[in-house]
Chains A and B, each alone.
Chain A
Amino acid sequence: EAQVTQNPRYLITVTGKKLTVTCSQNMNHEYMSWYRQDPGLGLRQIYYSMNVEVTDKGDVPEGYKVSRKEKRNFPLILESPSPNQTSLYFCASSWQTSGSYTGELFFGEGSRLTVL
């Protein structure tokens, strides 16, 4: 089954304790991205990756890091989480073939993070 898998789905942590949210897709997609969803703000892009070893900032990258060492995986790293990073996080992936635009993102089920 084609899917984007995120872990953990739920996490409560404390300020300053490093954490990683993993994301894996089995569709051989080149493009991957992280969004955060907050009430009244919709979804905002954190980071994206066009391919292995190619990453760039989205609209709200502060406090986050990513890496793309393998095509299927795109972990989101919070080096020193703070309460304002309490949010619902989504990983998404998409085809990208020679610059053609598909417009369809495939989303994971989300990871709800609470930072105390």
Chain B
Amino acid sequence: AQSVTQLGSHVSVSEGALVLLRCNYSSSVPPYLFWYVQYPNQGLQLLLKYTSAATLVKGINGFEAEFKKSETSFHLTKPSAHMSDAAEYFCAVSDIDFGNEKLTFGTGTRLTIIP
């Protein structure tokens, strides 16, 4: 079974600083990888996804992630943090049973922005 590991359940960065959220995956086949964001009291929404095209993927709100097969990583970055980025972030990998678009999620990283 495929899995993802998110390093760091809590990350704090200063406003304007680089955001780096780490995700490593385990997969025996080329995976589809995703980052979702969850704002307080809301559902998850897709930030970006990797589906075997370009290894550097750009998403919404200035976030991007780079797929590195040699490191089995898919870290999420943003050059300059904004207060509105405070949320919980989930890395996920696809586990495609035929017809079941199941996503296997990591345990999440809560991002806090320090003014």
Q: With a CB–CB cut-off of 8 A, which chain B residues contact A40?
A: 9, 107
Identity of the chain B residue whose Cβ is nearest the Cβ of A30 in the assembled complex: B99
A103 touches B43 (CB 8 A): no
**Chain B residues with a Cβ closer than 8 Å to the other chain, count:** 24
User: How near does chain A come to B42, taking the closest CB pair, in angstroms?
Assistant: 6
Is B102's CB under 8 angstroms from A103's CB?
no
Interface string of A31-46 (1 = CB under 8 A from B): 1010000001111110
| Binding site secondary structure of chain B | strand
Q: How far is the CA of A41 from the CA of B111 in the complex (A)?
A: 17
- Number of residues from A at the complex interface, CB < 8 A: 27
A-B pairs with beta carbons under 8 A, tally: 66
B-contacting residues, A64-116, CB 8 Å: 90, 92, 94, 96, 99, 101-105, 107-110
A and B contact pairs by CB, cutoff 8 A, 24 listed: A4-B43, A33-B101, A40-B9, A41-B107, A45-B103, A48-B101, A50-B100, A58-B100, A58-B102, A90-B43, A92-B44, A94-B101, A99-B98, A99-B99, A101-B32, A101-B96, A101-B101, A103-B32, A103-B49, A103-B94, A103-B103, A105-B46, A110-B41, A110-B43
